[in-house]
Amino acid sequence: MTASELDNLHDLWIVDSGAINHMPNKLSNIFNLKQFTSSTFVLFVNGKGSLVKGKGKIKLISETIMFDVLYVPSFPFQLLLVIKLTFAFNCDVIFTHHKVIFYSY
């Protein structure tokens, strides 16, 4: 991958069904950040860990819907936890090999 492609990946939001929390890697997406004073890590399926710098909040679709997040600046992209999204928006989700579809009844 080129440096430009890696930078674009860093901006990408991934919908994840196995994450422990929403995890943005960009401070500009977070407000009310409370930095951690001790080292806290999240471990991934591959056994590697990333340092969590703090926790805060993000706004997604509207100004009124906020989510708690863990700030993980070293992570290569940003994660959205699917269970929190489906609960907040009262919807279901379908994963295909090319897209994620959120729908409500």
pLDDT, tens digit (0-9, with 9 covering 90-100), for 76-91: 888 999 999 999 889 9
Q: When comparing pLDDT for 28 and 64, which is higher? A: 28
Report how many domains make up the chain. 1
Instruction: Count the neighbouring beta carbons within 10 Å of the beta carbon of residue 47.
Output: 6
Q: What angle do CA 55, 58, 61 make, to 5 degrees?
A: 160
Dist CA 40 CA 32 (whole Å): 18
45 is in which domain, residue-wise?
3-103
Output the domain CATH number for residue 62: 2.40.70
Q: What is the pTM of this model?
A: 0.81
Q: When comparing pLDDT for 64 and 59, which is higher? A: 59
Average pLDDT over residues 81-102: 90
